[in-house]
Amino acid sequence: MPATPSAFETTPTFADLTTIRIGGPIDEFVRPETRDEVIDTVRRADAQGTRLCIIGGGSNMLVSDAPFHGVVVRDMRDGIRVSRSAPGDSGDVIVEADAGANWDDFVAWTVSEGYEGIEGLSGIPGSVGASVVQNIGAYGQEVASSVLSVTAWDRQAGAIVEIGHDNLAFGYRFSALKATMYETPEVQGTGEGRRETRWFPSPRYVVLAVTYRFRRSRQGTVGMGQLAKALGVEKGTRMDLTDIRAAVLSIRATKDMLEDPTRYANPWMAGTKREIPEAGEPNHNRWSCGSFFINPVVTAEHARRYLDGAPQYPGVLPDGTPGVKTSAAWLIDHAGFHKGFRLPGVAADSADGAEPSSAGLSTVHTLALTNRGGATFDDVWRLASCIRRGVDDAYHIDLVPEPVVIR
């Protein structure tokens, strides 16, 4: 039996908890197993004015190596409940999942049960709660398409609230939940007790559970050209859910955009995933935050002037008007940052013959910034900043980081 963390260490570091394996020590780490424990922990941290970080799978975050003076909460609840069939003769089913459930475990469960809706989101690291904050998407699907509502703890009101789909303001890698992360709470108290900090690095609304509407079907729709090509069919073809999931996992594996299963040898990860892939040697291409930059959406005029030859798809601008979405990976590569690119190490006297930085682009995918072993926050951030400057110089686009960055 593996040793429990308490047997040798009081608290983990963020490097123990994140997929990029970077981050400093944590003052307090709490793993609540009931809804009441989740709420009590959040209330206590807020009452004390302590920084609060709700962590899911640790896949979409880049954290400083400095100590985190606050409370980190990892919800250990992973229940799934089929509450009822949807009204009418639609054949749909209503499912509620606890926020702490591992996302890919949940996807695998829906496929095994014959529930269509999120099979294209297979292999994405993280948790059910984090998935709706980010509105994850891949291979022609977004989680928003299946979400009916979110049950959350409102840190401002001190109450459990139900937020319906229409009030979640889902957009491309965006939700109303995510927006509240950067809002400033109403001022509470006076003098030394006065609090004016943002809710960051967690939203005002702490997700407790998510309710979905799925279609009862053993088949799903192949919704993206790349996926269709892998399956040898036309886009829009109906296929068995298990075949779609297998193809998605295979594509993600070829790009090393799956999490490295060796992370589960770390006792701090115990109990967070039910289905753990067989682990071989560590794969540093997978020591990443996933996609580091959001695919930008620009005006049609900007695309015409600067994006000749770049992939272009219909998109929506922040103001809700039509725009052009392009590929961040293409921009990075064509700005001169190719697969495996690494900067010289910061301690080098010159770039000529210097040891490379421990942070670098994946050797198979330019959208993943990776920890090649021993990388620090500054190593990754220096690489990200260099890439952003290069893309801005070449295409007049400021790439926006996708991970939550905690300094």
* pLDDT number for residue 192: 52
Residues 224 and 329 in one domain: no
* pLDDT number for residue 318: 86
* Assigned domain for 26 exists: yes
* pLDDT number for residue 9: 53
Mutual angle of helices 103-113 and 241-254, in 10-degree steps? 150
Instruction: Report yes or no: 23 and 14 within 8 Å, Cβ to Cβ.
Output: yes
Residues 243 and 155 in one domain: yes
* pLDDT number for residue 1: 36
CATH of the domain at 361: 3.90.78.10
The CA distance from 28 to 18, in Å, is: 16
Residues 213 and 172 in one domain: yes
CATH of the domain at 48: 3.30.43.10
Rg of the chain over all Cα atoms, to the nearest angstrom = 21
Instruction: Report yes or no: 361 and 342 within 8 Å, Cβ to Cβ.
Output: yes
* Assigned domain for 114 exists: yes
The CA distance from 299 to 315, in Å, is: 9
* Assigned domain for 271 exists: no
Residues 226 and 114 in one domain: yes
* pLDDT number for residue 8: 40
* pLDDT number for residue 85: 72
3-class SS of residue 235: coil
Residues 113 and 144 in one domain: yes
* Assigned domain for 349 exists: yes
Residues 357 and 310 in one domain: yes
Contacts of residue 303, Cβ cutoff 8 Å, sequence gap at least 6: 310, 312, 324, 326
* Assigned domain for 131 exists: yes
Instruction: Report yes or no: 175 and 135 within 8 Å, Cβ to Cβ.
Output: yes
Domain total in the chain:
3
Taking CA atoms, 254 is separated from 279, 327, 363, in Å, by 16, 18, 11
Residues 66 and 101 in one domain: no
CATH of the domain at 125: 3.30.465.10
| Residues assigned a catalytic role | 173, 291, 402
* pLDDT number for residue 2: 39
Residues 170 and 318 in one domain: no
CB-based burial label for 3 (10 Å; 0-12, 13-18, 19+)? exposed
* pLDDT number for residue 198: 83
Q: Residues 156, 131, 167, CA angle at the centre, nearest 5°?
A: 50
Taking CA atoms, 16 is separated from 4, 72, 163, 176, in Å, by 14, 13, 33, 29
Please list the pLDDT of the chain residue by residue as tens digits (407 residues). Answer: 334 444 345 799 999 999 999 999 999 999 999 999 999 999 999 999 999 999 999 999 999 999 999 999 999 999 999 987 766 657 899 999 999 999 999 999 999 999 999 999 999 999 999 999 999 999 999 999 999 999 999 999 999 999 999 999 999 999 999 999 998 886 555 445 444 468 999 999 999 999 999 999 999 999 999 999 999 999 999 999 999 999 999 999 999 999 999 999 999 999 999 989 888 999 999 999 999 999 999 999 999 999 999 999 999 998 889 999 999 999 999 999 999 999 998 765 445 557 899 999 999 999 999 999 999 999 999 999 999 999 999 999 999 999 999 99
* Assigned domain for 277 exists: no
Residues 127 and 228 in one domain: yes
Q: Residues 259-262: contacts with CB within 8 Å, 24+ apart?
A: 259/19, 259/57, 259/59, 259/125, 259/286, 260/19, 260/286, 260/287
| pTM, 2 dp | 0.91
Domain extent at residue 53? 5-73
